[in-house]
């Protein structure tokens, strides 16, 4: 056997089982996310509809995305605000939050409203109907001030699934949430009770979601701009509608 070939063979055997290099020269953006299925969440295909949009949008701008799972919404907000993460999936816009976060162009909106137990007599046609109602919300989430102004008793929990469980036991009268999220949790965790919890029509509001970048993140504005550039390409190509169809979501954006 020729000596040169032998040396090549030895070298090849020595490296054949080695792990391929994962080093990357691309910049990385680190984003916190929690449980808000089908938009995003652990265990969902590609971490969900919004997660897939964000990863693809950043890829088009030359960025890699590291998603860090934090199920408690309030904790993820506080740690992103303090700069531990570059950004967060997702948030509704408010002027108060602008002091801590930069907001992306609008992502598909949440259809916000109330779920109730099928045996509950409560209805919702105006805020007056909320008088004395026990309404479940998630800690750290902005909810309409009309709730308390109307005399509703607001009960906060850490996770939305806790409110669905409380509805099933009729420990609250209504739970405030996105229509698709409430239905997903009900079907995933309590399929045997899928007809016991219903969404009250009409919905309360359509509110755009946003990717947010912490003002304490390095190169915060560039990281936001990079997402917006890639996201514009996805929208123009029709990819957002295609993904929405795959996930069974209506990709409405409020103008």
Verify that 158 and 120 share a domain, yes or no. Answer: yes
Q: Is residue 104 domain-shared with residue 211, that is, in the same domain?
A: yes
CATH number of the domain that 188 lies in? 3.40.190.10
H-state helical runs in the chain: 3-16, 49-60, 73-81, 146-149, 160-168, 179-189, 220-237, 239-247
Provide the whole-model pTM. 0.83
- Tell me the H-state helices in 82-212: 146-149, 160-168, 179-189
Residue 142 within a domain: yes
pLDDT one-digit tens code per residue, 183-220: 999 999 999 999 999 999 888 889 999 999 999 999 99
- Asked if the structure places residue 84 within a domain, the reply is yes
Q: What does the pLDDT read at residue 126?
A: 79
In a domain, 91, yes or no: yes
Do residues 192 and 242 both lie within one domain? no
- Count of H helices and E strands in the chain? 8, 10
The residue ranking higher by pLDDT, 242 or 204, is 242
Structure tokens at 166: 């409380």
pLDDT value at 248 more than 70: yes
Q: Sign (positive/negative) of CA torsion 213, 216, 221, 222?
A: negative
- 105/189 same-domain check: no
Domain count, the chain: 2
Task: Judge whether 92 lies within some domain.
Answer: yes
Are residues 115 and 144 both part of a single domain?
yes
Residue-averaged pLDDT of the chain: 87
Residues 193, 114 within the same domain: yes
At residue 10, does pLDDT exceed 70? Answer: no
Same domain, 85 and 137: no
Residue 61: the pLDDT is: 97
* Euclidean distance between the first and the last CA atom of the chain, given in angstroms as a whole number: 74
Kindly state whether residues 115 and 185 are assigned to the same domain: yes
pLDDT tens per residue, range 158-189: 989 999 999 999 999 999 999 999 999 999 99
Is pLDDT at 17 greater than 80 in this prediction? Answer: no
Domain annotation covers residue 21: no
Q: Are residues 151 and 134 in the same domain?
A: yes
Q: How confident is the model at residue 24 (pLDDT cuts 50, 70, 90)?
A: low
pLDDT for residue 86: 98
Q: Which two tokens stand for residue 72?
A: 């408690």
Sequence-ordered strand ranges (E) for 2-106: 28-33, 64-69, 87-91, 101-103
What burial letters (b/e) apply to 176-189, b meaning 16+ CB within 10 Å?
A: bbbbbbbbbbbeee
193, part of any domain? yes
Domain that holds residue 146: 110-205
Q: Is 234 in contact with 53 (CB distance < 8 Å)?
A: yes
What are φ and ψ of residue 33, in 5° steps? Answer: -150, 160
pLDDT digits (tens, 9 = 90+) for 46-97: 999 999 999 999 999 999 999 999 988 889 999 999 999 999 999 999 999 9
Whether 34 is covered by a domain: the verdict is yes
- Measured CA to CA, the distance from residue 44 to residue 248 in angstroms comes to 13
Residue 1 has pLDDT above 80, yes or no: no
């Amino acid at each position: 056997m020729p000596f040169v070939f032998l040396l090549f063979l030895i070298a090849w055997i020595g490296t054949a089982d080695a792990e391929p290099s994962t080093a990357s020269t691309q910049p990385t953006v680190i984003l916190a996310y929690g449980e808000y299925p089908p938009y995003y969440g652990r265990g969902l295909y590609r971490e969900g509809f919004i997660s897939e949009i964000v990863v693809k949008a950043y890829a088009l701008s030359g960025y890699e995305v590291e998603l860090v799972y934090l199920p408690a919404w309030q904790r993820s907000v506080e740690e992103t605000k303090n700069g531990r993460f570059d950004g967060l999936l997702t948030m509704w816009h408010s002027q108060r939050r602008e002091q801590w976060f930069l907001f992306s162009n609008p992502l598909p909106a949440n259809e916000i409203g109330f779920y109730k137990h099928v045996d509950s007599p409560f209805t919702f046609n105006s805020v007056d109907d909320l008088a004395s109602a026990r309404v479940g919300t998630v800690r750290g989430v902005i909810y309409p001030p009309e709730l308390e102004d109307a005399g509703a008793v607001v009960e906060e929990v850490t996770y939305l699934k806790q409110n669905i469980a409380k509805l099933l036991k009729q420990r609250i009268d209504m739970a405030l949430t996105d229509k698709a999220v409430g239905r997903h949790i009900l079907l995933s965790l309590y399929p045997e009770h899928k007809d016991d919890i219903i969404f009250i029509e009409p919905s309360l509001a359509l509110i755009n979601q946003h990717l947010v970048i912490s003002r304490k993140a390095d190169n915060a504005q560039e990281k936001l701009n990079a997402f917006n550039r890639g996201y514009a390409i996805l929208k123009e190509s029709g990819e957002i509608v295609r993904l929405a169809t795959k996930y069974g979501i209506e990709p409405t954006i409020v103008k």
